[in-house]
Chains A and B, each alone.
Chain A
C-alpha cells in the first residue's frame, strides 16, 4: 500500500475498475448472483480515483446524502471499519443500495470524474464496504432508553425496514406487520436472487430483530386488523405498503394461459422458489419463447429470469427506443450479454392464442416517436399497416403497478391523491394525526433508496411527534 498521498494527476490516470462478473454463458443457467464484488485490490484502486472534492457534488446526487468522500477515503486508507461507520450512518441498507441503486442517475451521474471519462464506481465501492461489514458485525446497540411508545409499521419493504431500525435505535417499541410470509417487500418477492441474494435481506431482518423490532408476517392490514384498530393500540403508524397492484395492457388475450404479470412471474420464482420446482411446490410455466412487455427494471428482471428458466428466446418488447428505457444501464447490459433480445418501438395490440387458449404470439404494431410528452419522453405513435405477430409461448406484462386499495379502503378517512396514492405532508404525515406514510405508496413506483429515504425522514418525524406532542389514546 502506498503511504505517500497520490497526486491528482496520479488519481486521474487510474481508469474505472470493472466489476468482476460471472461468465454470461454460465450465469444465464443459474440464479446465482451475477456480480461477484470488488476484491480488496480493485476497491483500493477504485477508491484512489476519487478526488476528495472540496465540494463533493456526488453527495448531492444521493437521495440520502451518503458521505461518499469520507467512506471512500477510509477504503483508500485501508480502514474498512471506519468506512462502514461512515456508510451506515447515512444508509441503513448499503448492501442493497450498492447493488440496486440507479447510480448512473444519482451519485455517479454528478461525480466530477464523469465529466471526463467514467465516474467513480460509488455503487460498487458501497457494496464492497457493506459486504465486508456483514462478515465483521459492528455493535449496533440501542442508544436510547425505552421510550414507552409503540409504533406500528405496515409493510416490510425497504421503507418499513429502514424506519423500523431508526425508531428502534431511539428506544421506541416497533412492530412491523407484513402481509406476505416473508419480510423484504419487493426485495424479497420482486428483485431476483441473481441481482440481490436473499441472504442480504435476511441479514438485515436479523439485525432489526436483534434491536428488538417485532416482525409479524401474514398480517394483512385492512383485513386482519383495520388501520383504525391499529391507531387505537399504537402511538404512531407508518404506512409503507408499496404500490403493488399490477397494471394490465387492456388488450385482447390477457386471460390466456401463459400470460403473467411481472409480479406473479417474479413472485412465483423468487418468493416461492419455482425455479426449484418440483423440489419447491410452486410451479411456473417455462416458456421456450418468452416475450416481456416493458422497459423498466421489472421487465429486465423478468426477461433475465425467463432466460434462466431455460427460454431459448427471451425478448423485451418496448414501445419507445433504447435510450428511453428506464431500467438500470448495468442490468440492460447484463441482459444483452445473457442473450436477451430487444424489440424497440413496437406496441402490443393483442395476445394471440390457440384453440386451447394457450399463448401463441404477441401481435404488435410499430411506432414512431413523436413530441416529448408530460414525462419529457417522446410519445410513441403507431404506424398504420405495420402489424405483425411475434411468436411466443409466454407473455409477461411488466407495464407498471399502482396503489393497492386493500389497506386504504379499510380507512375511508385517509386522504388519497387523485391517483389513489396516499397524500402526505413534508414530514410524511397523512391527514390523520400520527399516521405517516412513505415509499412507493406515496411516490408511485420509485426506487429502493427513495423508499429508504422516506423511512428515515418519517422516523425523524415520528420521533419528534412522539416526544413533542402529547398523544391522546382511546384504548391501550
Chain B
C-alpha cells in the first residue's frame, strides 16, 4: 500500500516538489495545515506543509528542503515509488482575513508554508504583497506564482536577485510606507522573531507558522510544545500558527537544537554505510 509519488521535480539545489497520492487529504485540507510523513520502516515521522492539492486527481503537493536524513531520503524518492505513511490534514487552518491588506513573508523553504496562504488570500481578493527571501537567485521558490497573486518583493542575501538583504528589512520599509492589516510569516526562527519585532511597535497583527520538532502530530507526545502568551501550547493541534507577538522564540529556537548531535550521527551513518563523504547541509531549515 502506501502513497504513490506521482512526480518529483527539483525547484532549487536542495528543494524538491513532490506530488503524492492522498485522495482524502486532497479533498479536505485547508491552507495552514500539514501532514505527518513516514517514508517506510525505520523512518522518522516528520511534519510537512500541504502546499497544494488537486482534489480531482487525489493528490497533494509537498515541497521539501533536504536538511537532514529524513528530508534527504524523501527528496530522493523517485516518481512511481511509494511513501508508506501520510497522515493528515493536521493542525488548524490559517485564520485568513477577508478584506484589507496582507503581507506574506517567506524565508527560505518558508515559501512552501506561505504559498497556500498567499494563494487563498489572492482568491479571496485581499490586497496582497508577498516578500520572499532566499540565499541567492537560484533558491527563490514560487517566484512566478507569488507574482501572479499580487505584488512581489524578492530579497536575496547575496543581492543576486531583487533587493540585497533580509526580508524583514523589506517588511519594515513596507509598513512604514503603507497600511498593513496582517502579516503572515514563515521561515527560520530568527526571521520570524525579527518580523515580530518589526511589527510589534506598530501593533500590526502578525501570524507565524511555528516549526517545532514533532512526533505524532495528534497532541499525544507533547514534544511540539511551545510557549505562547506564557502558556504551553501544542503546535500540532493548537497551531502551527500563533500570534507572533506572544511567542517565546528563544525557547523554540533552543528546542530545535535538541538533536543536533544525533542529526550529525544520522547523516554520517548513512554516508558511511554508503561509503560516501558527508554531503548533507546541517543548518536549520
Which A residues contact B (CB, under 8 angstroms)?
Answer: 179-181, 189, 217-220, 223-225, 244-246, 248, 254-255, 257-258, 260-261, 263-264, 267-268, 272-273, 276-283, 285, 356-357, 404-406
Contacts and interface: CB of A to CB of B under 8 A. Distances in A.
Given A254-B232, A255-B255, A282-B44, A244 B86 contact: no
A246 B234 CA distance: 11
B257 interface: yes
B17 interface: no
Given A244-B219, A264-B223, A406-B218, A224 B85 contact: no
**Interchain residue pairs A-B with the least CB separation, the first 8:** A283-B262, A264-B221, A218-B87, A278-B269, A261-B222, A244-B220, A181-B85, A281-B44
Contacts of A257: 254-255, 257-258
Nearest to B38: A181
Contacts of B145: none
21 contacts: A180-B216, A223-B88, A224-B87, A224-B89, A244-B220, A254-B225, A257-B254, A257-B255, A257-B258, A258-B258, A263-B220, A263-B222, A264-B215, A264-B222, A272-B215, A276-B42, A278-B266, A281-B44, A282-B215, A405-B219, A406-B218
A281 B85 contact: no
B70 interface: yes
B45 A272 contact: yes
Contacts of B84: 181
B62 to A, nearest CB: 15
Interface string B210-232: 00000111111111010100001
B265 A281 contact: no
B221 A225 contact: no
A219 B222 CA distance: 20
Contacts of B255: 255, 257
Q: Which of B215, B222, B251, B255 has the most CB of A within 10 A?
A: B222
A190 B45 CA distance: 17
B78 to A, nearest CB: 19
B89 A179 contact: no
B21 to A, nearest CB: 13
Contact of A248 (B87, B90, B232, B258): B232
Interface in B255-273: 255, 257-259, 262-263, 265-266, 269-270
A273 B40 CA distance: 13
Contact of B266 (A258, A260, A277): A277
A419 B140 CA distance: 49
Interface in B29-45: 38, 42-45
Nearest to A224: B24
A9 to B, nearest CB: 54
A33 to B, nearest CB: 21
Nearest to B221: A264
B222 A220 contact: no
B237 interface: yes
B186 interface: no
A220 B218 contact: yes
A219 B44 CA distance: 18
B72 to A, nearest CB: 11
B219 A404 contact: yes
Contacts of B119: none
Nearest to A247: B222
A133 to B, nearest CB: 28
A267 B84 CA distance: 19
B28 interface: yes
B257 A281 contact: no
B69 interface: yes
Contacts of B192: none
B212 to A, nearest CB: 11
Nearest to A397: B222
Nearest to A248: B232
Nearest to A278: B269
Nearest to A244: B220
Interface in B226-256: 227, 232, 237, 248, 251, 254-255
Contacts of A281: 42-44, 69-70, 266
A218 to B, nearest CB: 4
B229 to A, nearest CB: 14
A450 B141 CA distance: 53
A277 B268 CA distance: 12
B24 A255 contact: no
Contacts of B42: 273, 276, 279-281
Contacts of A260: 223
B128 interface: no
A217 B24 CA distance: 13
A263 to B, nearest CB: 5
A281 B24 CA distance: 28
A245 B219 contact: yes
Contacts of B69: 281
B237 A283 contact: no
Interface string B52-82: 0000000000000000011000000000000
Contacts of A246: 220-222
Contacts of A254: 225, 232
Given A179-B218, A279-B42, 15 more contacts: A180-B218, A181-B87, A218-B86, A219-B24, A219-B87, A220-B87, A223-B89, A224-B87, A224-B88, A255-B248, A272-B44, A278-B269, A281-B44, A406-B219, A406-B237
Given A179-B218, A281-B70, A283-B259, A218 B254 contact: no
A276 B42 CA distance: 9
Contacts of A225: 24
B25 interface: yes
A225 B220 CA distance: 19
Given A263-B221, A406-B218, A278 B265 contact: yes
Contacts of A179: 87, 216, 218
Contacts of B225: 254-255
A260 B213 CA distance: 12
Contacts of A404: 218-220
B255 to A, nearest CB: 6
Interface string B185-223: 000000000000000000000000000000111111111
B24 A245 contact: no
Contacts of A273: 42
Contacts of A282: 44-45, 215
Given A254-B232, A273-B42, A224 B218 contact: no
Contacts of B45: 181, 272, 282
Interface in B80-124: 84-90
B250 to A, nearest CB: 9
Contacts of A264: 215, 221-223
Contacts of A278: 262, 265-266, 269-270
A261 B227 CA distance: 16
B221 A267 contact: yes
A263 B234 CA distance: 14
